[in-house]
Structure 1
Amino acid sequence: MRRGHSHQRSMDDTDSEDELPPGWEERSTKDGWVYYASHDEMKTQWEHPKTGKKKRCAGDLPYGWEQETDEKGQMIYVDHINKRTTYFDPRQAFTVEDVVLKPKRYDGNTAALEILQGRDFSDKVVLITGGNSGIGLETARSFALHGAHVILACRNLSRASKAASLIQQEWHKARVEAMMCDLASLRSVREFTESYKARKLPLHILVCNAAVCTQPWILTEDGLESTFQICHLGHFLLVQGLEDVLRRSAPARVVVVTSESHRFTDLLDSCAKVDLALLSPQKKEYWSMLAYNRAKLCNILFSNELHRRLSPHGVTANAVHPGNMMYTSIHRSWWLMTFLFSLARPFTKSMQQGAATTVYCAVAPELEGLGGMYFNNCFRCLPSAQAQDPSSAGSLWELSERLVAERSGGIQAL
C-alpha cells in the first residue's frame, strides 16, 4: 500500500514552484479536491504549501479504479486491474501538462496496456475480427479493461464467448460480447453486418485482425481459396457492409493487421493488373506460405485504398505488422512452423507487445485524421514497393468488388 506521493522531478525541474517541500504529500477527497498533508507538523490544508493555490482533480477515475475508505475513514484508491491500493488519487498522475503536445515514443517492447494507460474509452465501440485468441484477444482485453464496448466477431461463437468471459472475470465491469462472423463465408459476413446495423450501435474502431496461415488448400463455399478469402476478401466485404456506420461514427479508424511477409511476393500479371489466378490458385499451384504472403500484401493495398476513399468522410485506415517471429494459433496447422517457433520463442514478442502497434494506430492522438500508412513496432515504416503502388491498390479493389458482386447480386461501391 502506498501512503502518499512525493513529486519525482528531473534535475532540470527541481526549482519548480509546484514541487512540495520535504515532509509534505498530496492527497485528495472523495469529490476530487486536492489537499496537502505535512508529516512533520501533523496538519493538513487545502492550499499548496509553496504556491498557495487550490486544485481539484478533473474527470473520472481511470477505468478499473474505485474509491474506498480505509479503517480510519481515509479515502483510498483501489486499482482492480493491477491489484494494488494507494492513497494517491490516480487522476493526479495524468495532468494536462504531462501529456500535452509531447506524445510518448513507443517501440517493439511496448505493451498495449501501456499505450492505453490512464485513458477511458467508455464512449467507444471497438469491433475486432478473430478476437478470441492471440493478439486479437489481447487487443480486445486491452480495450475492454479501459472501458470500451468490445465486440468479438468470430467464426467460432463458443470460443469467442469463452474469451469474452475470461475478460469479464478479470474486470467485472468489462463490456465484451461475441457475435458470429465467418470470413470464409460471404453470406455469414453479410448476415453479421446486417445484425450489427440492426443494433444501431456506432463503430469507432474496427480491427481487421483475423487470419489463417500455413493451412492446406481449401475452397470456401464461395469457390475461392480460403487464405485469400479469410485474410482479405471477407474483411473487404465486412468494411463495405459497415461503411455507413463508420461514417456516422466519425472520426473512426480502421486498423488492418498485415505482416512483413508481404515483401516476399507480388500480385500482378503481365498487364500490371492484380491476378486472381495468383490470389486464388488451383490446388497443384498452391503453396500455403506464398498464399499467406499474397494475402498480407492485399491487406496493405486494401488499407491504403480504403483510406483514400473514406478519409474525406472522417474514416482513416492504417496497416500494421504485429511483431517479428510471434507464434500464434494461426500457425497450428503446420508442424514445421510450430517447431520453428518453439525454437525461436525466447526471441519472440509477448501477445501484449504484439497487440501494441494495433492499439497505437487505433488510439494515438497524433494519428488523428492520418492514414494510408504502414506501422511496425509503433513506428511508421515503408512497406514493399508494390504495397505502395496506388494502381495496384485500385486494381485489387476493382477485383474485390467484382468477386463479391458476383456472389451477392451487387454491392454499393465506396
Structure 2
Amino acid sequence: MDFVMLVTKWADALKHPAILLQALFSLLGIWILLWSANHWFAMQAGTLGGPSFCSFSSYWNCDRVALTAYASVFGIPVGLFGAAWFFVCLLLSWTEGISRKIVLSAYGLAWLSCLYFAFVLLVQLRMGCLVCLLGYLAWAGAGLSLFFSPRMGLLSRFSSGFCFLVGVLLLSFAGLRMSSSHVGDFSPEELSRLRDNVRQATAERIVIDSPMRYGTTGSDLVVHEFFDYGCPACAAAFLHTLPVLMNEFEMELISIPYPRDGRCNPALPDNVRSHSCSLSEAGLCLREQNRDKDFSHKVMNTLLEENRLISLEEALRGFRHDSAALQSCLDRGEMREKLQEMIVEANRLQIRATPTFFINGRRMQGALPIPLFRVVLEELQLLEK
C-alpha cells in the first residue's frame, strides 16, 4: 500500500510542469558535466583524436578551455564536481523536511560558481566554451523551475541519504572509468626501454634561437620543437599534447618553424605543403604582437578539422591583430631571414620529419602519446638533478 501511495505521489508530482522541468534540466546538466569530465580526461591523455564539436573557432574552443588550470581541482575535472552538486541540489529540493532556504542556498552556491567561471572565461582566459554555456543554462533552468515548484517532499530523509550514497558511488565509478579508458596501454617493458633510450641518447646542440618561446625561462627542461604549419601531427602536439605537459612540468618550449615548402626550403624541391613558408614568416612576425599562439591555433585547428592548410590571406581573415605592424614586419624581411636561418639549422641537424623535438638536446622524432612524452620528461628531470 505504501509503495502504491509513493508511486502515486511521484506520478502526481511529475505532472506539475515546474517539477518535471527541474528534473529534466538537472538530468541534462548532469549529462553535460559528465561529458565535459570525460572530455577533460581525453585531453589529458591525448586520446581525443581531433577537435571536439565545441571547438569550431579560435575563440569558441572548449578544447583550449579544458587545457587550462581552471578546468580541474586537485587533478579532478570540474565537470565531476558540477555533476555531483547538481545531484545534491536535486535531492535537497525533493527531500521532506529540508527548508527552502537550504535548497536555495545550495542552488545559490552553484550560480555563484557559474558566475565565477563565466568571469574567468570572459576576462581571464578570453575564450568561449559552448559546453560551459550549456551547463550554465542548465543550472539557470533548474533554478528557475525550483521557484515555481511546490514543496512535495518526494523523498524521506532516509531515502534521500541512500540515494546520495548510491549517487556518490556511481559518480566515483564513472570518474574512474573515464580516467582508465583514456590511459595508454603501455607495458612495463615498453616504458623501461623508453627510459633506457632517453638515458643513453646523446645531447645535440641547437645553435638557432626563436622568438617563439613559451613557458618558464631558465627551466631545467628545455624543449626545442621543429614544426610545420601543414603537419597534422604538429597540430595535434600544439593543440593537445604540449599544453597538457606544460601545465604539469616546469619547462621552456622553443618553437622553430621548419616549413616543408620548397619555395623557402632548399632541401625540398617540391611544394610539399604550399603556404607553409608564408604562414611561418607571419607567425614569427605576430610574435611581436603576442598573437602568434592564437594565429597558430587558428591555422592548425582548421588543418585538423578540414584536412587542409589554409593560405595566409585566409588565416588573417577575421583574425584580430595589428595589420599595419604585421605588414611592416613582413616588408622589412627580418623574419624571412630568421626563417632561413632556422631552415639551415634544421637541415644541418638532418631533420627529416615534423614534429621533431630536442628535449635538453636529446632528439625525439614524431608526436609521442602524452603518457610516453610524460615518461621522457620525468626521466630527464631525474637526470638533471
TM-score > 0.5, shorter chain as reference: no
Q: Flag the structure with higher strand content.
A: 1
Band of TM-score, shorter chain? under 0.3
Q: Which has the larger radius of gyration?
A: 2
Q: Which has the higher helix share?
A: 2
Q: Which has the higher contact order (CA 8 A, sep 6+)?
A: 2
